[in-house]
Structures are given as C-alpha cells and as structure tokens.
Amino acid sequence: MRHKVRAAASLVILLSARALAGASAYLPVNLAPEFEARVERALALAGVPVMTRPIRVDVVLAALPAVCERDRLLCRRMRAGLAPYLAAMAVTHAHMEAAATEHNALVQPDRHGAPMDTAWELAANGLARFGEHVLVGVGGVGYQNRFTPTGSMLSLGGDRAQLDLGYRDHWWSPLRLGSMLIGTEAATMPSATLSSAAPLTRLHLRYELFLASMSYSERIAFHNGLISGRPELFGFHADVELAPGWSLGASRLLQFGGGARPHSWRALWRAFVNTTRYDNTSAQLNTDQEFGNQQFAVSSSLVLPLRYPMSLYMEYAAEDTFHAENTRFGSSAVSAGLFLPRLRPDLQLRYEFSEWQTNWYVHHIYLDGMSNHDVVLGQWGAEWRQQGDAVGAQAHALELIWDRRNGRQLDLQYRTALNASGSYYGAVRYQRGHELTLGWSRPWRSWRVGARLDGGRDEFGDRFGRIAAVASYAGVAAAARSAATEEPEATVVTGQGADGAETGASVAADHQVEGFVDVGMFTSRLDYEQDAGKLPAVKTPQGSVHLGLGVRRAFDRHNDFGTRIEFDNVRGRLFAALRAVDYRRRIGPSFAAAFFLGVGRYDGPTPAYGWYGGAGLQWRNFRDKWDLSLDARIGDHMVRNKVPGEPVILWPNAFYSIYGASLYLSRRF
C-alpha cells in the first residue's frame, strides 16, 4: 500500500499546482447531529445536491450566500458553526455520552460501529493549518472496547485535487439515513483519498477515489484453505451536475488482496474495466485467480427550488454482475428518499426506503464479507440479521427535526427493517425490527446539553433500550449562536412579503417547477426466462391501467429534467419503475420529446430488479393544464432469486423483460 500512497501523493502535487484554493476541512459525519442537520438543510435551501459525505467546508461556504437570501437565522447559525473550521488552529467539535442500557449488542445505525449496549461514547476533532495547502486533523471516536482515530489525517493540495492520508470517513450515497455501498455503519478505516471540491469541466465533474486497509481477517479463501491478512478496499466515485440542482453519480468498491492473495495495480485496473473477465469465477478463471469482491451504484439527486423546497434522490446498486455481462447486475438494491428541509420554518422531514436482494456484504473469498471489525460497511439494516446470512431485506427510515428559534432542537427517528424468512430466501425465521430514537438538546454556556433515548425490538424480537445524557462542546461559537437565536421573526425569509404575498423570486421559482399525475393505459409483453440459455422464454401479452406521479423543473426555454415513479399491472403483479433521469425537450409551443432511464421492479415470487428506460412524445397543454403522452418502455432483464423448490438447471435466478407502450393523460399542478 505504501507504493500506492506514494503514487497518489505525486499526482496531487502535480494537480495542486493549479489549485484555486487551499486544502479544505471536512464536517463530521454522524458525530455532531445538531450542526449536521443544519448543514443538510442549508444545502437544500441553496439548491446544492449532496452526493457524498463528509461534506467539505468550502462547499458549505460557497452555498452560504444563497442560504442567507432565504433564511437569515439559519445563515447566522451556519456562520457560527463554521467558524472553528476556518481558524488556524481550533477544536472543531467534541461530543460525549453516558448511558444506561439493556444488554443487547445490536449495532447502532451509522454510529461508527458503536453497539447499543455501550455505556459511554466519546468523539472529538481539532485541526491546525500550516500554510494554504497543508491541513492536519486530530481526533477520534471511542466507545467500550474500541477507539478509532476518526478524523485524524494529513490533508495536502487544493480544491481540484486534495490528498487525505489517515482516518477519513467515506459515505457514498445521496441518502442520509443509510448508504448501501459505504457509510459510517462500521468503524473508520485508514485510507489514502484523492478528491476534488471545485467542479471540473463544463459538466461540473467531481471525483473521489481512495485506497483503504480493512480490518484483519482470518477467513480469506486461497489454495483450497483459509489464510489471514488485511484485505484492501479501492473506491472510485464521480458525479456530474448536468443542470443546477440536478446531479448524477456512479460509485465502485473493489475488495482485494489480503495475506498471500495476489494484488497489484495491473490486476486492479483489469478488474475495474472488465469485471466479468477478471472478477467472476469461470472456466477460464478459478477462485485463486479471481480478483476479489466488487460493488457498484448509480445515483441521482434533484433539488427543487420551491417556496417549500424539496430534495428527491434515488440509487440503484448491485453486488455483482450476471451472465458475463458488465452492464447487467445481480444481487441488486434500490433506494430512494425525500427530504423537505422546510416543512415549516423550523421543521424538516426526511423519509428513505431501501430494498436489497441476497448476497449483500457476504462473499465466497472474503468470508467476513464487505465489513470492518465484523460490522458491514454499508446499509444499517443489513446488521439486523444473523451474521453471515446472505438474506435480502427491506428497510425504512423516517426523521423529523424541530430546530426551535431559542436554540433547542428535537430529533425524532423511526427505523424498521424486515429480512426475508423461511421459504422466501433462507432458513432463519426473522421478525420485523423496530427502532425509535428521540434526541433533545439545548445550548448552555459553551456547550449543548441534552438526552438521547433509543428503544425497540431487533430482528429476533429481543428488546433493546438505551438512555443517554449528551453533551457537545460549542466553544467560541456559543456566543454567536446565542446571538443568532435573538434574530427577530421578520428577518427569517420565507418567500413572502410583509403582506403575506409571495415574493417575485418565490413566484419565479415556483413557475420553473411543476408536479403532475399520469393516468392512462399500458399494453405490454412479458418475457419470462426461468433458466436463461436452457429453457425458452415464455412470452405473454398484457394490458393494464397506467398510473404515475412526478415532478420536473425547467432549466431553460427548451429543456426540462425531473423524476417520476410509475405503476402498472403485468400478469397480476405490480411493475413499478423509478425514472432517475426524466428528460423532456420542448419542441415549439405544443409538442415535446422525452427520454428516460432508471430502474424497474417487478413483484415476482421474490422482487426482480433491472434497468428501465424508454422514449416518448408529448402533446403539451392540449387542454388547460393537461398533456397527452405516448411512451415506449422497457424493463430489461430484471433478475430475481429463485425460491426453494424452483428448478435450477444452470442459474439460481429467473429473469423478466417487459416491453410495452403507454398512452396517458397528465394533469399538471
């Protein structure tokens, strides 16, 4: 790993010569809840999509002018909270908890591996600047039986290329309450990370890549036995902002090496560009020659600048490819979320959903799976199962935050997850797990003090509970934050004038965004492949009612981007589709052409997932606020796991392709 870090350092020196600004500090991830909630709210109000975390301080500073136009109270609180990160030397945050718990070692969601029954937790970070392009962070996260120096790192470079050496978190998902690939569910790994803050090229490209050392494992398959070592983890992420407030991203994780298993730059590159040739066991590639373990995700985030803004985001992830095709995936996962940063001036709401098939976070070479210290790297719901079980599951998370004007904050979270059981995927009988979390805090001198209450039942029905006293150091920002709470009500910009009428800016923003409901007919053909390549496909025609719900934003005179969810009935089962890219090109005053791409879900005996896309034509405004559309659509090779008892000739999966056309009316509002 030393040679790889040296190569990354050489690259950052070359790139940083043209850097426009110095190295940037990062905001904590799931360590300073009150401040993090305000940051997420501020970025949504400014129309900035969040695709990865930790969030750079420079990104928040760039968004502040837009935040100050919409919410002056939040603006002042943000300036106070960011002040330590701009100092030459400062303690940026400190957090401590003392708790009484029930005996249940369930891992707390996204809390750096902390178990529910830990009696104490500590987290702190500080920074020091040495010139414009050198930044040193010192800190860590501790709880019973583990300490990790999270946030301790050396940062070199600038906004086009910054190299971070040390214990830096990686959260690769627009979702805030759970990340499929990598987040803060497990303890932070030591890594070398190269990334950009400033957007590059006209596409506003941002990139991030890292190489990390995972925890020691004694269960790595090699030469017909098990060896010990530290697997390495390589990650690559890139996203582009194709239009203001709309971003698309792609992420890859590759787990490899460990002990005597082969690892090199050449092998990494070959597995990255040709997964099925170098990373899947076949007649030409045995398990010892196989590169390792991979995960992949594509994501989309759209921020709508309404009077009451909203952020819509989704992600399609996969644990592997299938049928020796690099562009088709097995073991899929679909996630989506809705964030309302201003449900009312002091209230924000977030809801997120995830569903994944079998084989996530387990592997035939790395028997400890995609994990660190026996905790999965990604989705919190995957910890709510028997260790090593490859079962699929579905998870929901809801968060409501009340950020009061006097500085008090109330945070309510509810999470629930259900693993597939018995005849569905596996032999273990699971129950639906529930967790309810209530957090309360208030400013007190240089601190924020409060309490946190967790309780619920795990996947086996066992009860857990935890009540903690919480204190967070606010430092030099405390006086400024206290002053911010005295801001008079009239200075909070809500999109209305003094007489209650909408301001011109608010009206203009609302006119750029429109919601709509689709109602019509869908005619389709379902191709069912019980065992691809061995049994012929069964083809069945079908007709049904078509329903859809979407939102789009006009970015100029001709181009609109949005997102949509659609529902159809195919052979008595639900066919649902999410359009991550929903593009419309207006042609003249009355017509438009459309292109869309996303993910489809067919509700077979087990859920089937695959690519979804199509194109269409639209007669715009053929009646007042009504449009008429005709779309050609395809759900391509949606794959599902077979249930016990289904015949397996070659593949343990079945496949569905749905081809069809929709004719429907859209009512705009």
Residues 565 and 609: their CA atoms lie apart, in Å, by 15
Average pLDDT over residues 146-154: 97
Q: Where are the alpha helices (DSSP H) in 358-494?
A: 477-484
Strands (DSSP E) found in 3-161: 52-53, 89-101, 120-129, 134-143, 146-148, 153-157
Tell me, yes or no, whether 28 and 92 share the same domain: yes
Tell me, yes or no, whether 332 and 420 share the same domain: yes
26 within some domain: yes
Q: How confident is the model at residue 2 (pLDDT cuts 50, 70, 90)?
A: low
Tell me, yes or no, whether 304 and 418 share the same domain: yes
Q: How confident is the model at residue 641 (pLDDT cuts 50, 70, 90)?
A: confident
| pLDDT of the residue at 290 | 86
Average pLDDT over residues 214-227: 94
| pLDDT of the residue at 519 | 97
Nearest CA among 333, 335, 341 for reference residue 295: 333
Asked if residues 172 and 250 have their Cβ atoms less than 8 Å apart, the reply is no
Tell me, yes or no, whether 310 and 382 share the same domain: yes
Tell me, yes or no, whether 393 and 518 share the same domain: no
| pLDDT of the residue at 553 | 92
495 within some domain: no
Distances (CA, A) of 89 to 32, 126, 127, 128, 135: 19, 7, 6, 4, 10
Element (H, E) at 69: helix 57-70
| pLDDT of the residue at 308 | 86
The type of residue at 296 is F
| pLDDT of the residue at 649 | 80
| pLDDT of the residue at 475 | 60
Residues 387 and 382: their CA atoms lie apart, in Å, by 9
Asked if residues 466 and 446 have their Cβ atoms less than 8 Å apart, the reply is no
Q: Over the stretch 67-90, which tens digit does the pLDDT of each residue have? A: 999 999 999 999 999 999 999 999
Tell me, yes or no, whether 258 and 154 share the same domain: yes
3-state secondary structure 267-304: HHHHHHHCHHHHCCCECCECCCCCCEEEEEEEEEEEEE
Q: How confident is the model at residue 497 (pLDDT cuts 50, 70, 90)?
A: very low
| pLDDT of the residue at 68 | 94
Radius of gyration of the chain from its Cα atoms, rounded to whole angstroms: 25
Element (H, E) at 612: strand 607-623
377 within some domain: yes
Q: How confident is the model at residue 482 (pLDDT cuts 50, 70, 90)?
A: very low
Tell me, yes or no, whether 156 and 233 share the same domain: yes
Q: Over the stretch 517-556, which tens digit does the pLDDT of each residue have? A: 999 999 999 999 888 777 788 899 989 999 999 999 998 8
Least confident of 1-10, 28-37, 374-383, 483-492: 483-492
Average pLDDT over residues 550-573: 93
| pLDDT of the residue at 351 | 98
| pLDDT of the residue at 556 | 87
500 within some domain: no
**Percentage with pLDDT > 90 across the chain:** 68
Q: Where are the alpha helices (DSSP H) in 135-283?
A: 265-273, 275-278
Tell me, yes or no, whether 631 and 587 share the same domain: yes
502 within some domain: no
Tell me, yes or no, whether 325 and 452 share the same domain: yes
Tell me, yes or no, whether 420 and 519 share the same domain: no
Angle at 603 between CA 602 and CA 605, to 5 degrees: 125
Number of structural domains found in the chain: 2
CB 581: neighbour CB atoms within 10 A? 18
| pLDDT of the residue at 509 | 42
Burial class (CB in 10 A: 0-12, 13-18, 19+), 302: buried
pLDDT at 171 over 90: yes
527 phi and psi, to 5 degrees? -105, 115
pLDDT at 476 over 60: no
Of the residues 435, 456, 489, which one is the last residue of a structural domain? 489
472 phi and psi, to 5 degrees? -130, 135
| pLDDT of the residue at 439 | 96
Q: Over the stretch 29-57, which tens digit does the pLDDT of each residue have? A: 999 999 999 999 999 999 999 999 999 99
pLDDT at 99 over 80: yes
Contacts of 2 (CB under 8 A, 6+ apart): none
Asked if residues 305 and 509 have their Cβ atoms less than 8 Å apart, the reply is yes
Query: Any idea what the CATH number is for the domain that residue 613 is in?
Result: 2.40.160
Give residue 129's domain range. Answer: 2-489
Q: Between these two residues, 362 and 508, which has the higher pLDDT value? A: 362
pLDDT at 164 over 80: yes
Angle at 525 between CA 394 and CA 320, to 5 degrees: 40
Asked if residues 602 and 617 have their Cβ atoms less than 8 Å apart, the reply is no
360 within some domain: yes
498 within some domain: no
Tell me, yes or no, whether 186 and 111 share the same domain: yes
Q: How confident is the model at residue 286 (pLDDT cuts 50, 70, 90)?
A: confident
Torsion angle in degrees (nearest 10) through CA of 139, 143, 147, 148: -60
Q: Over the stretch 326-355, which tens digit does the pLDDT of each residue have? A: 677 778 999 999 999 999 889 999 999 999
Element (H, E) at 42: helix 33-45
| pLDDT of the residue at 119 | 96
Least confident of 110-114, 266-270, 498-502, 532-536: 498-502
pLDDT, averaged across the chain: 88
CB 233: neighbour CB atoms within 10 A? 24
pLDDT at 657 over 70: yes
| pLDDT of the residue at 283 | 60
Of the residues 489, 505, 529, which one is the last residue of a structural domain? 489
| pLDDT of the residue at 650 | 76
Q: Where are the alpha helices (DSSP H) in 131-280?
A: 265-273, 275-278
Tell me, yes or no, whether 523 and 465 share the same domain: no
Average pLDDT over residues 462-479: 81
Of the residues 489, 505, 530, which one is the last residue of a structural domain? 489
| pLDDT of the residue at 505 | 41
435 within some domain: yes
| pLDDT of the residue at 652 | 80
Asked if residues 341 and 37 have their Cβ atoms less than 8 Å apart, the reply is no
Element (H, E) at 617: strand 607-623
Q: Where are the alpha helices (DSSP H) in 245-385?
A: 265-273, 275-278
Strands (DSSP E) found in 511-590: 513-529, 538-554, 559-570, 573-587
Query: Any idea what the CATH number is for the domain that residue 321 is in?
Result: 2.40.160.130
